[in-house]
Amino acid sequence: MKVLEVPGDHRPMSPLTPLIPQSSLSRRKFLGFTALNSAAALGLTTISAAQAAESAESSSGFSPAVVIGTGYGAAVTALRLGEAGIPTVMLEMGRLWNTAGSDGKVFCDMLQPDRRAMWFKNRTQAPLASFLWLDLANRDIAQYPGVLDKVNYGDMSVYVGRGVGGGSLVNGAMAVTPKRSYFEEILPAVDADEMYGTYFPRANQALGVNNIDPRWFETCRSYKYARVSRKSAARAGLKTVFVPSVYDFEYLKQEEAGTVPRSALASEVIYGNNHGKRSLDKSYLAAALGTGKVTIKTLHQVRGIIRQTDGTYVLTVHETAENGAVVARKQLGAKYLFLGAGSLGSTELLVRARETGTLPDLNDEVGQGWGTNGNVMLGRANHAWDLGGSLQSGMPALGIDAWDDPVNPVFAEVAPVPAGIETWLSLYLAITKNPERGHFTYDAASDSARLRWTASQGKPSIDAAKSLFDKVNRANRTIYRSDLFGDTRSFENRFTYHPLGGLVLGKATDLYGRVKGYRNLYVTDGSLIPGSTGVNPFVTITALAERNVDRVLREDGLR
């Protein structure tokens, strides 16, 4: 069976790839880990290495560079700015997830969620809304700045991570590089040779991407469910592929052997992983803090952006307590401003700035080109002789690759159901090629951007997923499960894990993320990508950020 290889794994990298020696990177990560642990131990909302405390932000509230957010694009940008010696402040609306609760764990699991699970919700909102039409996955919880948020926009809801590390804290760790042909289709103006020769390898190396041991996969309990789905796909003439991950597969082996604490095998996925996952706080962000030039301020939400007559920017920032109350309203100045708050956050900031007149020269492309990455979730009923087992790894490692289908291209993650019992269920998150795009408008009453997306726009995704899995069901004499999504539907496309677009590269920005109409204002996250990558998008976001900040540092005179 084919393995989706990490570009650069088996051939020399471009001379541009190794920015810093590995020993230097390791030292920086160590310094960064020390800063994170110290901040957690002292309950601080400002995280920095000792030498950065005075240099990143002056007493006047001004920083040479500000990065909004701590997700993939933001983390890349902060590291490269720090390496270039530029004092940089990162503003994160969530908290630092580095302190154990009363149960001795930083994160809660999916079977016993508590207030740590969700961002200021009274009840958890898991993607599987029901089982046998009963709401068994969710619980009432106290409101708290939890790690996962579900932002609701009528016909579409979006899952996003909240905390230092953003989406890396709550995703399934699937580190997939898109097919080159499709990358060239969605971003035709970006040099694919450069991306696949330099920036994808650079991103994969820095993220800590690794591959599962195929021999272990064939015999382990953890992926019996994936082997069952592989057999079902093969009967339908479909191919499956192993998928790289930022979860440490060697650690996972030890989890199954019982020699280390369990995480992926302890129903830990969407509310965070206590072990094993190489989230951004363990890779890019740790290295960024270790440069001594980067400071992270947690529980700091940016609400507005103003450009001064001298070309600098002033941010209105709300500092919040863990009960959600605003404890301080601040202004922070910056010469260079990088938006890395994600497809929702960055887009809202610029839509608000344009419509309220604080950045009136933003063009009409701001808020356009948003998509769901074609996400559709579905389940199939398993036969008694094809059960997935009660022990299931929460980190997917296999996908059905039907992207070359000329009519209905689909890449379908073989997803786990880590319920700790046999569920008679095979679950999938299908990624489809849906040309429909949404857009954002400004709602003055709530001072927020509202997504305009209708249920009918999701139909192409359902049609593509149904075309693929109808074949699987026919070949295996199985049926869809209709008890999983709170009603009788078999396909769930009212949410996405992969929001993309809103500030599309080459339209709202130039081809390197510079916002049109304003100097020294940049976008560095998934809002640059026009709605689709064909695979899980975080590697693409990371590589594109590496490319863009590389050019900005060379050409824009940052200092």
Given the DSSP bridges, would you call strands 2-3 and 240-242 parallel, antiparallel or unpaired? parallel
Q: How many Å apart are CA 438 and CA 196, to the nearest integer?
A: 29
Hey, what are 406's tokens?
């000329």
Confidence grade of residue 12 (pLDDT, cut at 50, 70, 90): very low
Task: With both helix axes pointing from N to C terminus, report the angle between 459-476 and 224-235 in degrees, rounded to the nearest 10.
Answer: 90
Catalytic entry in 83, 275, 498, 546: 498
C-alpha to C-alpha distance for 353 and 65, rounded to whole angstroms: 19
**Distance, CA of 393 to CA of 225 (rounded, Å):** 9
Residue 405 confidence (pLDDT): 96
Question: Which residues, in sequence order, are bridge partners of residue 47?
Answer: 296
CATH of residue 341's domain is 3.50.50.60
Percent of the chain with pLDDT over 90: 87
Query: pLDDT digit string (tens) for 136-150?
Result: 889 999 999 999 999
Phi, psi dihedral angles at 199 (to 5 degrees): -85, -35
| Digit-coded pLDDT (tens) for 25-46 | 577 888 887 888 888 888 888 9
Separation CA 249–CA 262 (nearest Å): 12
**What residue has token string 């100097």?**
519
Query: Which positions ≥6 away from 44 have C-beta within 8 Å?
Result: 38
Q: Which of 256, 355, 413, 492 is catalytic?
A: 413
Is residue 388 included in any domain, yes or no?
no
Measure the CA–CA gap between 418 and 423, rounded to whole angstroms: 9
CA–CA separation, 396 vs 472, rounded Å? Answer: 19
- pLDDT average, residue stretch 314-341: 96
Q: CB of 498 within 8 A of CB of 375?
A: yes
Number of helices and strands (H, E) in the chain?
12, 22
Q: What is the pLDDT of residue 91?
A: 98
Top-confidence residue, 181 or 59: 181
pLDDT at 14: 29
Give which of 484, 419, 482, 420 is closest to 134, Cα–Cα. Answer: 484
List all residues 6 or more positions away from 356 whose beta carbon is below 8 Å from its beta carbon.
304, 442
The pLDDT of 78-103, averaged and rounded, is 96
First-residue to last-residue Cα distance in the chain? 49
Residue 50 confidence (pLDDT) = 54
Per-residue b or e along 147-158, where b marks 16 or more CB atoms closer than 10 Å to that residue's CB: bbbbeeeebbbb
Nearest by Cα to 49 from 300, 349, 291, 318: 291
- Name the residue type at position 39: A
Arithmetic mean of pLDDT, 195-209: 98
Domain assignment present for residue 74? The answer is yes
Picking from 24-38, 42-56, 88-102, which range would have the lowest pLDDT averaged per residue?
42-56
pLDDT at 38: 85
C-alpha–C-alpha distance, residues 163 and 1, integer Å: 37
Dump pLDDT digits (tens) for 332-389: 999 999 999 999 999 999 999 999 999 999 999 999 999 999 999 999 999 999 999 9
CA distance linking residue 5 with residue 8, whole number of Å: 8
- Residues with Cβ within 8 Å of 81's Cβ and at least 6 positions away in sequence, in order, are 65, 67, 88, 293, 294, 549, 553, 558
Please give the Cα distance from 170 to 161 (Å, whole number): 6
Residue 112, number of CB atoms within 10 A of its CB = 10
β-sheet bridge partners, residue 480? 380
Q: Distance (Å, rounded) from C-alpha 418 to C-alpha 127?
A: 13
Instruction: Report the distance separating Cα 81 and Cα 67, nearest Å.
Output: 10
Tell me the per-residue pLDDT of 507-551, one tens digit each, with 9 for 90 and over.
Answer: 999 999 999 999 999 999 999 999 999 999 999 999 999 999 999
Query: For residue 229, is it within any domain?
Result: no
Does residue 425 fall inside a structural domain? no
Structure tokens at 288: 């960024």
Whether 15 has a pLDDT exceeding 70, the answer reads no
Residue 3 phi/psi, 5° resolution? -110, 130
The first and second tokens of residue 517, run together, are 């109409």
| Residues 231 and 380 sit within 8 Å (Cβ to Cβ) | no
Quick check: 4 and 177 in contact, CB under 8 A?
yes
User: Does the pLDDT at position 60 exceed 80?
Assistant: no
- Average pLDDT (161-177) is 98
Q: Which residues contact 216 (CB under 8 A, 6 or more apart)?
A: 253
In a domain, 205, yes or no: no
Flag whether 251 is in a domain. Answer: no
- When the pLDDT of each residue in the chain is averaged and rounded to a whole number, the result is 93
pLDDT (tens digit per residue) in 256-301: 999 999 999 999 999 999 999 999 999 999 999 999 999 999 999 9
Q: How many domains does the chain have?
A: 1
Domain-located, residue 272: no
Cross-sheet strand order for the sheet of 2-3: 2-3, 240-242, 398-402, 410-415, 425-432, 375-381, 491-492
C-beta neighbour count of 221 within 10 angstroms: 13
Which region among 4-8, 19-23, 168-172, 379-383 has the lowest average model confidence (pLDDT)?
19-23
Residues 457-481 pLDDT 10s: 999 999 999 999 999 999 999 999 9
pLDDT at 24 over 60: no
CA atoms of 346 and 507, how far apart (whole Å): 15
Torsion of CA 131, 135, 136, 137, to 10 degrees: 90
* 314: enclosing H helix or E strand: strand 313-320
Residue 272 CA to residue 147 CA, distance in Å, equals 7
Question: What type of residue sits at position 170?
Answer: V
Q: Please tell me the distance from the alpha carbon of residue 498 to that of residue 372, in angstroms, as a whole number.
A: 6
If we measure between CA atoms, which residue out of 419, 463, 456, 416 comes closest to residue 438? Answer: 456
φ, ψ for residue 315, nearest 5 deg: -105, 140
How far, in Å, CA of 73 to CA of 490, rounded? 35
Task: Identify whether 445 is part of a domain.
Answer: no
Owning domain of residue 66: 7-97+279-370+500-555
Task: Verify whether residue 268 is a known catalytic residue.
Answer: no
- Whether 83 sits among the annotated catalytic residues: the reply is no
